[in-house]
Structure 1
Protein backbone atom coordinates (compact mmCIF):
# COMPACT_ATOMS: atom_id res chain seq x y z
CA UNK A 1 0.00 0.00 0.00
CA UNK A 2 1.31 3.43 -0.93
CA UNK A 3 2.66 5.59 1.87
CA UNK A 4 2.05 8.78 -0.06
CA UNK A 5 -0.26 11.28 1.66
CA UNK A 6 -3.83 11.27 0.43
CA UNK A 7 -3.49 14.65 -1.28
CA UNK A 8 -0.66 13.23 -3.42
CA UNK A 9 -2.72 10.20 -4.38
CA UNK A 10 -5.59 12.49 -5.34
CA UNK A 11 -3.52 15.29 -6.89
CA UNK A 12 -5.04 14.96 -10.37
CA UNK A 13 -8.57 15.01 -9.02
CA UNK A 14 -7.85 18.01 -6.79
CA UNK A 15 -6.56 19.86 -9.84
CA UNK A 16 -9.62 18.90 -11.89
CA UNK A 17 -12.05 20.03 -9.20
CA UNK A 18 -10.22 23.34 -8.89
CA UNK A 19 -11.87 24.42 -12.14
CA UNK A 20 -15.16 22.48 -11.80
CA UNK A 21 -18.42 24.37 -11.50
CA UNK A 22 -21.05 24.05 -8.79
CA UNK A 23 -23.98 21.72 -9.49
CA UNK A 24 -26.41 24.32 -8.13
CA UNK A 25 -26.63 28.11 -8.12
CA UNK A 26 -25.36 29.59 -4.82
CA UNK A 27 -26.86 32.96 -5.79
CA UNK A 28 -30.32 31.45 -5.39
CA UNK A 29 -29.75 30.13 -1.86
CA UNK A 30 -32.72 32.10 -0.51
CA UNK A 31 -34.99 30.15 -2.86
CA UNK A 32 -33.85 26.75 -1.57
CA UNK A 33 -36.60 25.94 0.92
CA UNK A 34 -38.73 22.96 1.88
CA UNK A 35 -41.50 24.40 -0.28
CA UNK A 36 -39.25 24.20 -3.35
CA UNK A 37 -38.08 20.63 -2.63
CA UNK A 38 -34.93 21.22 -0.61
CA UNK A 39 -33.98 19.73 2.75
CA UNK A 40 -32.98 22.20 5.48
CA UNK A 41 -31.02 20.84 8.43
CA UNK A 42 -29.67 22.31 11.65
CA UNK A 43 -27.64 20.41 14.26
CA UNK A 44 -25.86 21.65 17.37
CA UNK A 45 -23.74 20.38 20.25
CA UNK A 46 -22.44 22.02 23.42
CA UNK A 47 -18.68 22.35 23.91
CA UNK A 48 -16.77 23.04 27.16
CA UNK A 49 -17.69 26.52 28.38
CA UNK A 50 -15.18 29.33 28.87
CA UNK A 51 -15.07 32.38 31.08
CA UNK A 52 -17.14 35.31 29.76
CA UNK A 53 -15.36 37.56 27.28
CA UNK A 54 -13.52 36.95 23.98
CA UNK A 55 -12.51 33.40 23.06
CA UNK A 56 -9.56 32.17 25.08
CA UNK A 57 -6.32 31.56 23.11
CA UNK A 58 -6.24 27.90 24.14
CA UNK A 59 -9.83 27.32 25.16
CA UNK A 60 -12.64 25.25 23.68
CA UNK A 61 -13.59 27.78 21.01
CA UNK A 62 -10.04 28.01 19.61
CA UNK A 63 -9.59 24.22 19.84
CA UNK A 64 -12.82 23.68 17.91
CA UNK A 65 -11.65 26.18 15.31
CA UNK A 66 -8.49 24.14 14.78
CA UNK A 67 -10.39 20.85 14.51
CA UNK A 68 -12.80 22.44 12.07
CA UNK A 69 -9.96 23.88 9.98
CA UNK A 70 -8.25 20.47 9.80
CA UNK A 71 -11.49 18.68 8.87
CA UNK A 72 -10.79 15.78 11.22
CA UNK A 73 -14.29 15.69 12.71
CA UNK A 74 -16.28 13.75 10.04
CA UNK A 75 -16.53 9.96 10.66
CA UNK A 76 -13.72 8.50 8.50
CA UNK A 77 -15.67 5.30 7.77
CA UNK A 78 -18.25 7.49 6.02
CA UNK A 79 -16.47 10.63 4.75
CA UNK A 80 -12.80 11.51 4.43
CA UNK A 81 -11.79 14.99 3.25
CA UNK A 82 -8.61 15.26 1.17
CA UNK A 83 -7.07 18.66 0.47
CA UNK A 84 -3.75 20.44 -0.02
CA UNK A 85 -2.56 21.30 3.51
CA UNK A 86 -0.85 24.54 2.46
CA UNK A 87 -3.83 25.87 0.47
CA UNK A 88 -5.56 28.90 2.07
CA UNK A 89 -8.84 27.90 3.66
CA UNK A 90 -10.92 30.33 1.62
CA UNK A 91 -9.49 28.80 -1.58
CA UNK A 92 -9.65 25.18 -0.49
CA UNK A 93 -10.96 22.47 -2.78
CA UNK A 94 -11.56 19.05 -1.24
CA UNK A 95 -11.98 15.58 -2.62
CA UNK A 96 -14.42 13.74 -0.40
CA UNK A 97 -14.12 9.98 -0.28
CA UNK A 98 -17.55 8.58 0.56
CA UNK A 99 -18.31 4.99 1.52
CA UNK A 100 -21.65 3.33 0.94
CA UNK A 101 -22.22 -0.42 1.29
CA UNK A 102 -19.41 -2.03 -0.74
CA UNK A 103 -18.75 1.05 -2.87
CA UNK A 104 -16.31 3.93 -2.61
CA UNK A 105 -17.25 7.23 -4.24
CA UNK A 106 -15.29 10.39 -4.91
CA UNK A 107 -16.89 13.83 -4.81
CA UNK A 108 -15.65 17.38 -5.08
CA UNK A 109 -16.52 20.37 -2.90
CA UNK A 110 -15.17 23.90 -2.66
CA UNK A 111 -15.09 26.33 0.25
CA UNK A 112 -17.64 29.03 -0.54
CA UNK A 113 -16.90 31.44 2.30
CA UNK A 114 -15.25 31.87 5.69
CA UNK A 115 -17.01 33.59 8.61
CA UNK A 116 -14.99 35.41 11.29
CA UNK A 117 -17.04 37.98 13.14
CA UNK A 118 -18.79 39.11 16.32
CA UNK A 119 -22.55 39.57 16.14
CA UNK A 120 -24.89 41.45 18.46
CA UNK A 121 -27.86 39.32 19.48
CA UNK A 122 -31.43 40.59 20.06
CA UNK A 123 -30.89 40.56 23.84
CA UNK A 124 -27.86 42.84 23.47
CA UNK A 125 -25.24 40.15 24.16
CA UNK A 126 -22.52 39.42 21.65
CA UNK A 127 -21.59 36.18 19.93
CA UNK A 128 -18.16 35.39 18.49
CA UNK A 129 -18.41 33.16 15.40
CA UNK A 130 -15.89 31.40 13.18
CA UNK A 131 -16.58 28.87 10.46
CA UNK A 132 -16.89 28.13 6.78
CA UNK A 133 -19.16 26.48 4.25
CA UNK A 134 -18.49 24.17 1.38
CA UNK A 135 -20.52 23.70 -1.77
CA UNK A 136 -21.02 20.67 -3.99
CA UNK A 137 -19.33 20.52 -7.38
CA UNK A 138 -20.26 18.82 -10.64
CA UNK A 139 -20.55 15.06 -10.26
CA UNK A 140 -21.65 15.11 -6.61
CA UNK A 141 -24.65 12.93 -5.74
CA UNK A 142 -26.07 15.85 -3.76
CA UNK A 143 -26.58 19.51 -4.52
CA UNK A 144 -26.24 22.17 -1.89
CA UNK A 145 -24.18 23.75 0.83
CA UNK A 146 -23.21 22.89 4.40
CA UNK A 147 -22.06 25.44 6.97
CA UNK A 148 -19.89 24.58 9.99
CA UNK A 149 -19.51 27.21 12.70
CA UNK A 150 -18.12 27.64 16.21
CA UNK A 151 -19.97 30.06 18.50
CA UNK A 152 -19.28 31.69 21.85
CA UNK A 153 -21.63 33.90 23.82
CA UNK A 154 -19.34 36.57 25.23
CA UNK A 155 -21.71 37.33 28.11
CA UNK A 156 -22.20 33.79 29.41
CA UNK A 157 -19.12 31.95 28.12
CA UNK A 158 -21.25 29.28 26.42
CA UNK A 159 -19.49 27.59 23.46
CA UNK A 160 -21.13 25.38 20.84
CA UNK A 161 -20.71 23.86 17.37
CA UNK A 162 -23.44 24.31 14.77
CA UNK A 163 -24.09 22.64 11.41
CA UNK A 164 -26.55 24.12 8.92
CA UNK A 165 -27.24 22.69 5.48
CA UNK A 166 -29.56 22.88 2.52
CA UNK A 167 -29.47 19.99 0.09
CA UNK A 168 -31.24 18.10 -2.64
CA UNK A 169 -30.46 14.87 -4.48
CA UNK A 170 -28.32 15.61 -7.52
CA UNK A 171 -28.20 13.95 -10.92
CA UNK A 172 -27.32 10.24 -10.61
CA UNK A 173 -27.24 8.45 -13.95
CA UNK A 174 -26.29 5.00 -12.68
CA UNK A 175 -29.60 3.32 -11.64
CA UNK A 176 -27.95 1.21 -8.93
CA UNK A 177 -26.36 4.25 -7.31
CA UNK A 178 -29.61 6.22 -7.71
CA UNK A 179 -31.62 3.51 -5.92
CA UNK A 180 -29.05 3.14 -3.17
CA UNK A 181 -28.87 6.85 -2.54
CA UNK A 182 -32.68 7.15 -2.60
CA UNK A 183 -32.99 4.40 0.01
CA UNK A 184 -30.08 5.29 2.28
CA UNK A 185 -28.99 8.82 1.42
CA UNK A 186 -31.04 10.58 4.08
CA UNK A 187 -29.91 8.15 6.76
CA UNK A 188 -26.28 8.75 5.81
CA UNK A 189 -26.78 12.52 5.92
CA UNK A 190 -28.06 12.34 9.49
CA UNK A 191 -25.34 9.93 10.52
CA UNK A 192 -22.69 12.27 9.13
CA UNK A 193 -24.10 15.20 11.09
CA UNK A 194 -24.57 13.46 14.42
CA UNK A 195 -21.21 11.71 14.37
CA UNK A 196 -19.43 14.88 13.23
CA UNK A 197 -20.87 16.75 16.23
CA UNK A 198 -19.71 14.07 18.66
CA UNK A 199 -16.28 13.65 17.09
CA UNK A 200 -15.56 17.38 17.15
CA UNK A 201 -16.49 17.58 20.83
CA UNK A 202 -14.32 14.56 21.61
CA UNK A 203 -11.34 16.06 19.79
CA UNK A 204 -11.79 19.41 21.53
CA UNK A 205 -11.93 17.73 24.93
CA UNK A 206 -8.83 15.70 24.08
CA UNK A 207 -6.94 18.84 23.04
CA UNK A 208 -7.85 20.54 26.31
CA UNK A 209 -6.77 17.50 28.33
CA UNK A 210 -3.46 17.03 26.51
CA UNK A 211 -2.43 20.66 26.45
CA UNK A 212 -3.28 21.55 22.87
CA UNK A 213 -2.10 18.51 20.93
CA UNK A 214 -3.79 19.06 17.58
CA UNK A 215 -5.24 16.13 15.58
CA UNK A 216 -3.52 15.41 12.27
CA UNK A 217 -4.94 17.27 9.28
CA UNK A 218 -5.25 13.94 7.46
CA UNK A 219 -6.42 11.84 10.42
CA UNK A 220 -8.04 9.01 8.47
CA UNK A 221 -7.25 5.48 7.27
CA UNK A 222 -5.04 5.28 4.13
CA UNK A 223 -6.80 4.70 0.81
CA UNK A 224 -5.78 3.49 -2.59
CA UNK A 225 -5.52 5.68 -5.66
CA UNK A 226 -8.81 6.21 -7.49
CA UNK A 227 -7.51 4.29 -10.50
CA UNK A 228 -7.76 1.07 -8.47
CA UNK A 229 -11.45 1.58 -7.69
CA UNK A 230 -13.66 0.17 -10.46
CA UNK A 231 -16.85 1.48 -8.87
CA UNK A 232 -15.35 4.92 -8.50
CA UNK A 233 -14.28 4.96 -12.14
CA UNK A 234 -17.81 4.09 -13.25
CA UNK A 235 -19.31 6.80 -11.05
CA UNK A 236 -16.91 9.42 -12.38
CA UNK A 237 -17.64 8.42 -15.96
CA UNK A 238 -21.39 8.67 -15.36
CA UNK A 239 -21.13 12.08 -13.75
CA UNK A 240 -19.40 13.74 -16.69
Structure 2
Protein backbone atom coordinates (compact mmCIF):
# COMPACT_ATOMS: atom_id res chain seq x y z
CA UNK A 1 0.00 0.00 0.00
CA UNK A 2 3.01 2.34 0.39
CA UNK A 3 4.35 1.82 -3.12
CA UNK A 4 7.59 0.34 -4.46
CA UNK A 5 9.82 3.19 -3.23
CA UNK A 6 8.87 2.85 0.44
CA UNK A 7 11.66 1.65 2.77
CA UNK A 8 11.49 -1.93 3.99
CA UNK A 9 11.57 -0.94 7.68
CA UNK A 10 9.95 1.84 9.69
CA UNK A 11 13.35 2.58 11.24
CA UNK A 12 14.51 4.05 7.92
CA UNK A 13 11.74 6.68 8.19
CA UNK A 14 12.17 7.41 11.89
CA UNK A 15 15.99 7.64 11.67
CA UNK A 16 16.73 9.22 8.29
CA UNK A 17 20.37 9.90 9.15
CA UNK A 18 22.30 13.14 8.82
CA UNK A 19 20.80 15.93 6.71
CA UNK A 20 22.80 17.92 4.18
CA UNK A 21 23.26 21.68 4.62
CA UNK A 22 20.56 22.20 1.99
CA UNK A 23 18.13 20.00 3.92
CA UNK A 24 19.02 21.64 7.24
CA UNK A 25 18.06 25.03 5.79
CA UNK A 26 15.04 23.96 3.73
CA UNK A 27 13.31 22.26 6.67
CA UNK A 28 12.63 25.77 8.00
CA UNK A 29 11.01 26.94 4.72
CA UNK A 30 12.92 30.20 4.26
CA UNK A 31 10.92 32.51 1.98
CA UNK A 32 13.67 34.83 0.72
CA UNK A 33 15.64 32.89 -1.90
CA UNK A 34 18.87 34.97 -1.76
CA UNK A 35 19.03 34.64 2.04
CA UNK A 36 18.22 30.94 1.77
CA UNK A 37 21.11 30.43 -0.67
CA UNK A 38 23.41 32.43 1.61
CA UNK A 39 22.47 30.27 4.57
CA UNK A 40 23.14 27.10 2.56
CA UNK A 41 26.57 28.40 1.54
CA UNK A 42 27.36 29.32 5.13
CA UNK A 43 26.39 25.91 6.54
CA UNK A 44 28.26 24.14 3.74
CA UNK A 45 31.40 26.06 4.63
CA UNK A 46 31.03 25.42 8.39
CA UNK A 47 30.26 21.70 7.84
CA UNK A 48 33.95 21.06 7.14
CA UNK A 49 34.94 22.08 10.67
CA UNK A 50 31.92 21.12 12.78
CA UNK A 51 30.48 17.80 13.91
CA UNK A 52 26.91 17.11 12.83
CA UNK A 53 25.34 17.91 16.21
CA UNK A 54 26.96 21.35 16.22
CA UNK A 55 25.98 21.96 12.59
CA UNK A 56 22.38 21.00 13.37
CA UNK A 57 22.32 23.38 16.34
CA UNK A 58 23.78 26.14 14.18
CA UNK A 59 21.04 25.69 11.58
CA UNK A 60 18.28 25.55 14.20
CA UNK A 61 19.42 28.77 15.87
CA UNK A 62 20.41 30.87 12.86
CA UNK A 63 17.74 29.70 10.42
CA UNK A 64 14.88 28.68 12.68
CA UNK A 65 15.05 30.98 15.68
CA UNK A 66 16.58 34.04 14.00
CA UNK A 67 15.76 34.42 10.31
CA UNK A 68 12.44 32.56 10.07
CA UNK A 69 11.15 34.48 13.07
CA UNK A 70 11.95 37.72 11.23
CA UNK A 71 10.18 36.50 8.10
CA UNK A 72 7.08 35.51 10.06
CA UNK A 73 6.78 38.94 11.69
CA UNK A 74 8.02 40.99 8.72
CA UNK A 75 6.80 39.32 5.50
CA UNK A 76 8.90 40.27 2.50
CA UNK A 77 12.07 41.00 4.46
CA UNK A 78 15.12 40.31 2.32
CA UNK A 79 18.05 42.12 3.90
CA UNK A 80 20.33 41.34 6.80
CA UNK A 81 20.64 45.06 7.48
CA UNK A 82 17.82 45.33 10.01
CA UNK A 83 16.13 48.48 11.21
CA UNK A 84 16.83 49.07 14.92
CA UNK A 85 13.20 48.55 15.95
CA UNK A 86 12.96 45.32 13.92
CA UNK A 87 16.16 44.01 15.48
CA UNK A 88 15.12 44.93 19.03
CA UNK A 89 11.73 43.23 18.65
CA UNK A 90 13.37 40.14 17.19
CA UNK A 91 15.78 39.84 20.09
CA UNK A 92 12.94 40.24 22.59
CA UNK A 93 10.98 37.43 20.91
CA UNK A 94 13.94 35.05 20.89
CA UNK A 95 14.53 35.64 24.60
CA UNK A 96 11.30 33.77 25.38
CA UNK A 97 10.31 30.17 24.68
CA UNK A 98 6.83 30.24 23.15
CA UNK A 99 4.03 27.82 22.42
CA UNK A 100 2.80 27.00 18.92
CA UNK A 101 0.55 30.07 18.96
CA UNK A 102 3.41 32.41 19.86
CA UNK A 103 2.46 32.96 23.49
CA UNK A 104 5.50 33.30 25.81
CA UNK A 105 5.97 30.41 28.25
CA UNK A 106 9.28 31.06 30.02
CA UNK A 107 12.64 32.77 29.46
CA UNK A 108 15.12 30.98 27.22
CA UNK A 109 17.99 29.96 29.50
CA UNK A 110 20.58 29.54 26.70
CA UNK A 111 19.83 32.89 25.05
CA UNK A 112 23.52 33.87 25.12
CA UNK A 113 24.33 30.79 23.00
CA UNK A 114 21.60 31.67 20.48
CA UNK A 115 22.94 35.20 20.13
CA UNK A 116 26.49 33.86 19.76
CA UNK A 117 25.41 31.70 16.80
CA UNK A 118 23.74 34.67 15.10
CA UNK A 119 26.55 37.09 15.84
CA UNK A 120 29.08 34.76 14.21
CA UNK A 121 27.06 34.50 11.00
CA UNK A 122 25.89 37.86 9.78
CA UNK A 123 25.99 41.62 10.36
CA UNK A 124 23.33 42.03 12.99
CA UNK A 125 22.51 44.08 16.09
CA UNK A 126 23.55 41.32 18.48
CA UNK A 127 26.17 42.88 20.71
CA UNK A 128 28.98 41.16 22.57
CA UNK A 129 27.13 41.88 25.82
CA UNK A 130 24.15 39.85 24.54
CA UNK A 131 26.35 36.76 24.26
CA UNK A 132 27.87 36.96 27.73
CA UNK A 133 27.20 34.43 30.49
CA UNK A 134 27.52 36.80 33.43
CA UNK A 135 23.84 37.71 33.68
CA UNK A 136 22.82 34.07 33.35
CA UNK A 137 25.25 33.02 36.08
CA UNK A 138 24.07 35.78 38.41
CA UNK A 139 20.43 34.87 37.82
CA UNK A 140 21.15 31.18 38.43
CA UNK A 141 22.98 31.96 41.69
CA UNK A 142 20.12 34.17 42.84
CA UNK A 143 17.58 31.42 42.10
CA UNK A 144 19.67 28.86 44.00
CA UNK A 145 19.95 31.19 46.97
CA UNK A 146 16.23 31.83 47.02
CA UNK A 147 15.47 28.09 46.90
CA UNK A 148 17.80 27.55 49.84
CA UNK A 149 16.13 30.28 51.89
CA UNK A 150 12.69 28.87 51.06
CA UNK A 151 13.43 25.22 51.78
CA UNK A 152 15.81 25.48 54.75
CA UNK A 153 13.04 25.96 57.36
CA UNK A 154 11.36 22.69 56.32
CA UNK A 155 14.58 20.63 56.38
CA UNK A 156 13.90 19.23 59.90
CA UNK A 157 10.46 18.09 58.75
CA UNK A 158 12.02 16.32 55.73
CA UNK A 159 14.62 14.58 57.91
CA UNK A 160 12.00 13.41 60.41
CA UNK A 161 9.71 12.19 57.63
CA UNK A 162 12.30 10.06 55.81
CA UNK A 163 13.43 8.60 59.16
CA UNK A 164 9.85 7.70 60.10
CA UNK A 165 9.12 6.14 56.68
CA UNK A 166 12.32 4.09 56.86
CA UNK A 167 11.45 2.77 60.31
CA UNK A 168 7.94 1.84 59.15
CA UNK A 169 9.32 0.01 56.09
CA UNK A 170 11.82 -1.87 58.31
CA UNK A 171 9.09 -2.97 60.72
CA UNK A 172 6.86 -4.16 57.87
CA UNK A 173 9.50 -6.24 56.11
CA UNK A 174 10.77 -7.71 59.42
CA UNK A 175 7.27 -8.74 60.49
CA UNK A 176 6.48 -10.12 57.04
CA UNK A 177 9.51 -12.45 57.06
CA UNK A 178 8.07 -14.27 60.10
CA UNK A 179 4.76 -14.92 58.31
CA UNK A 180 4.45 -18.20 56.36
CA UNK A 181 3.23 -18.08 52.72
CA UNK A 182 -0.51 -17.52 52.72
CA UNK A 183 -0.44 -16.07 56.23
CA UNK A 184 -1.61 -12.60 57.18
CA UNK A 185 -0.43 -9.88 59.53
CA UNK A 186 -1.58 -6.36 60.38
CA UNK A 187 0.60 -3.31 60.89
CA UNK A 188 -0.09 0.44 60.82
CA UNK A 189 -3.81 -0.28 60.24
CA UNK A 190 -3.01 -2.31 57.10
CA UNK A 191 -3.54 -6.06 56.71
CA UNK A 192 -1.22 -7.97 54.40
CA UNK A 193 -1.40 -11.48 52.98
CA UNK A 194 1.98 -13.03 52.16
CA UNK A 195 2.39 -14.41 48.67
CA UNK A 196 3.97 -17.81 48.05
CA UNK A 197 7.51 -17.78 46.66
CA UNK A 198 11.00 -19.17 47.02
CA UNK A 199 13.03 -15.97 46.75
CA UNK A 200 14.36 -13.83 49.59
CA UNK A 201 12.12 -10.97 48.45
CA UNK A 202 9.02 -10.36 50.57
CA UNK A 203 5.92 -9.98 48.41
CA UNK A 204 2.59 -9.18 50.00
CA UNK A 205 -0.95 -8.43 48.90
CA UNK A 206 -2.70 -5.57 50.68
CA UNK A 207 -6.01 -7.14 51.75
CA UNK A 208 -8.01 -3.90 51.50
CA UNK A 209 -6.97 -3.10 47.92
CA UNK A 210 -5.60 -6.37 46.58
CA UNK A 211 -2.52 -4.48 45.39
CA UNK A 212 0.71 -6.47 45.16
CA UNK A 213 3.59 -4.90 47.08
CA UNK A 214 7.29 -5.69 47.28
CA UNK A 215 8.10 -4.88 50.90
CA UNK A 216 11.80 -5.60 50.34
CA UNK A 217 12.04 -2.92 47.64
CA UNK A 218 10.03 -0.49 49.76
CA UNK A 219 12.52 -0.91 52.62
CA UNK A 220 15.50 -0.45 50.26
CA UNK A 221 13.99 2.67 48.70
CA UNK A 222 13.26 4.12 52.13
CA UNK A 223 16.84 3.43 53.26
CA UNK A 224 18.48 5.09 50.26
CA UNK A 225 16.11 8.06 50.46
CA UNK A 226 17.13 8.55 54.08
CA UNK A 227 20.82 8.13 53.18
CA UNK A 228 20.65 10.74 50.40
CA UNK A 229 18.89 13.25 52.63
CA UNK A 230 21.40 12.71 55.42
CA UNK A 231 24.37 13.15 53.07
CA UNK A 232 22.98 16.38 51.63
CA UNK A 233 22.12 17.65 55.10
CA UNK A 234 25.51 16.82 56.62
CA UNK A 235 27.61 18.15 53.71
CA UNK A 236 25.31 21.09 52.88
CA UNK A 237 25.66 20.20 49.21
CA UNK A 238 22.87 21.53 46.99
CA UNK A 239 21.54 19.65 43.98
CA UNK A 240 23.03 22.29 41.66
CA UNK A 241 26.52 21.57 43.02
CA UNK A 242 26.04 17.83 42.62
CA UNK A 243 25.43 18.25 38.88
CA UNK A 244 27.87 21.09 38.17
TM-score range, shorter chain: under 0.3
Report the TM-score when normalising by structure 1. 0.20
Report the TM-score when normalising by structure 2. 0.19
Q: Which has the higher contact order (CA 8 A, sep 6+)?
A: 1
- Greater strand percent: which structure? 1
Whose radius of gyration is greater, 1 or 2?
2
- Greater helix percent: which structure? 2
